[in-house]
Amino acid sequence: MKKVKYDAAGIFGKRISREEAMQRIRSDRSSYEKFLAFPDGFREEVLDFYEGTRGASLLYDNFFRRIFDPEIHPDRIERFVSALIGQKVKIKTVLSREGSQLSDRGSLVIMDIIVELEDGSFVDVEMQKNGYQFPAQRSSCYAADMIMRQYNRKKVENGKSFSYKDISTVYLFVLIEKPPKVFRGSGKYIHKRQVSYSSEIELPEITNITYITLDTFEETTENKNDDLSAWLSLLIKRDADSVTRLVEAHPEFIEIYREIAEFRKDPKELIGMFSEALYEMDKATERYMIEELQDDLKKANALYDEEKARADEEKARADQADSRADQANARADQTARDLDIANKRVSNMEAETEQLRSEAIQLKAILEKNGIKY
Which residues are CB-neighbours of 24 under 8 A, at least 6 positions away? 16, 50, 267
Q: Are residues 277 and 179 in the same domain?
A: no
Cα separation of 303 and 314, whole Å?
A: 16
Cα separation of 300 and 312, whole Å?
A: 18
User: Would residue 122 be called left, alpha or beta, if left means φ above 0 and alpha means ψ between -120 and 50 degrees?
Assistant: beta
Residues 127-142: b if buried by 16+ CB within 10 A, e if exposed:
bbbbbbbebeeebeeb
Residue 115: helix, strand or coil by DSSP?
strand
The per-residue pLDDT for 99 is: 53
pLDDT in tens, 234-287: 999 889 999 999 999 999 999 999 998 888 888 888 888 888 777 666 555 545
pLDDT in tens, 300-338: 677 777 878 887 888 888 788 788 888 888 888 888 888
Residue 86: helix, strand or coil by DSSP?
coil
Q: Are residues 211 and 164 in the same domain?
A: yes
- Pairing relation of β-strands 91-95 and 109-117? antiparallel
Q: Are residues 89 and 161 in the same domain?
A: yes
Q: Are residues 62 and 193 in the same domain?
A: yes
Closest CA relative to residue 276, chosen from 263, 288, 289: 263
10 Å Cβ neighbour count for 208? 18
Lowest-pLDDT range of 18-22, 128-132, 238-242, 363-367: 363-367
Q: Are residues 80 and 220 in the same domain?
A: yes
Q: Inter-axis angle of helices 254-261 and 240-249, to 10 degrees?
A: 140
Give the DSSP per-residue string, 323-342: HHHHHHHHHHHHHHHHHHHH
Handedness of CA 241, 244, 248, 253 (dihedral sign): positive
Tell me which of 218, 237, 256 is where a domain ends: 237
pLDDT over threshold 70, residue 159: yes
Closest CA relative to residue 169, chosen from 127, 214, 217, 207: 207
Q: Are residues 205 and 257 in the same domain?
A: no
Q: Are residues 121 and 28 in the same domain?
A: no
Contact between residue 210 and residue 193 where contact means Cβ atoms under 8 Å apart: yes
The per-residue pLDDT for 340 is: 84
Can you say how many angstroms the Cα of residue 187 is from the centroid of all Cα atoms in its chain? 15
Closest CA relative to residue 109, chosen from 95, 134, 97, 126: 126
- Report the amino acid identity of residue 368: E
For residue 160, report the phi and psi dihedrals to the nearest 5 degrees: -65, -20
Q: What is the DSSP letter of 161?
A: G
CA angle (369 as vertex; 365, 371 as ends), nearest 5: 120
Give me the number of domains the chain comprises: 3
Contact between residue 108 and residue 284 where contact means Cβ atoms under 8 Å apart: yes
Report if pTM > 0.85: no
Q: Are residues 217 and 297 in the same domain?
A: no
Tell me the residue range of the domain where 259 lies: 1-55+243-264
The per-residue pLDDT for 81 is: 92
The per-residue pLDDT for 171 is: 94
Q: Are residues 98 and 191 in the same domain?
A: yes
Q: What percent of the chain has pLDDT over 70?
A: 88
Q: Are residues 213 and 83 in the same domain?
A: yes
> Residue 175's pLDDT band (boundaries 50, 70, 90)?
very high
CA angle (344 as vertex; 341, 350 as ends), nearest 5: 145
The per-residue pLDDT for 232 is: 94
Q: Are residues 143 and 250 in the same domain?
A: no
Contact between residue 98 and residue 145 where contact means Cβ atoms under 8 Å apart: no
Residue 128: helix, strand or coil by DSSP?
strand
Q: Inter-axis angle of helices 227-236 and 74-85, to 10 degrees?
A: 120
CB hemisphere CA count around 171 (13 angstroms): 22
Q: Are residues 151 and 114 in the same domain?
A: yes
